[in-house]
């Protein structure tokens, strides 16, 4: 089973709201990722957690705050977003992360389609 689940599927929020995106995998993967994807564009890496520790932050604005409560869960907390943050937010996981080197394979969840009004 290579399933990564994400909730909610759709989210509409105002610029003053606080919301959270959730991601879950039960494949025993040790690395989890947040990506942002605009229509017809490749996914852009935001954050990487490897063994529950934040290992990569691609200079993402602080209005996005990731959290990894345990090895199966990944959250993305949103606060004071801008309309240009509207996008598909994808979660992915891979088996080994940094310890696996380049042979690691990412598996993606269905995404949360976020609209910021």
Partner 1 sequence: AQSVSQHNHHVILSEAASLELGCNYSYGGTVNLFWYVQYPGQHLQLLLKYFSGDPLVKGIKGFEAEFIKSKFSFNLRKPSVQWSDTAEYFCAVSSGGSYIPTFGRGTSLIVHP
Residues that bind partner 1 (CB under 8 A): 2, 31, 40-43, 45, 48, 56, 90, 92, 94, 96-98, 100-111
Count of Cβ atoms closer than 10 Å to residue 50 Cβ: 20
CA–CA dist 33, 56 (Å, integer): 9
Q: Are 110 and 6 in contact (CB under 8 A)?
A: yes
Smallest distance from the beta carbon of 93 to partner 1, in angstroms? 12
CA–CA dist 36, 81 (Å, integer): 14
Smallest distance from the beta carbon of 69 to partner 1, in angstroms? 22
Judged by beta carbon, residue 56 or residue 60, the one nearer partner 1 is 56
Tell me what percent of the chain is helix, strand and coil, each rounded to the nearest 5: 10, 55, 35
Judged by beta carbon, residue 68 or residue 92, the one nearer partner 1 is 92
Judged by beta carbon, residue 65 or residue 108, the one nearer partner 1 is 108
Smallest distance from the beta carbon of 88 to partner 1, in angstroms? 9
């Amino acid at each position: 089973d290579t399933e990564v689940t994400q909730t909610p599927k759709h989210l509409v929020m105002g610029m003053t709201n606080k919301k959270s995106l959730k991601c879950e995998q039960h494949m025993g993967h040790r690395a989890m990722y947040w990506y942002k994807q605009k229509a017809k564009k490749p996914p852009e890496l935001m954050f990487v957690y490897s063994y529950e520790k934040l290992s990569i932050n691609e200079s993402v604005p602080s209005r996005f705050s990731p959290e990894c409560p345990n090895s199966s869960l990944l959250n993305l907390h949103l606060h004071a977003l801008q309309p240009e943050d509207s996008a598909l937010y994808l979660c992915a996981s891979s088996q080994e992360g940094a310890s696996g080197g380049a042979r690691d394979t990412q598996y993606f969840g269905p995404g949360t389609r976020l609209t910021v009004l």
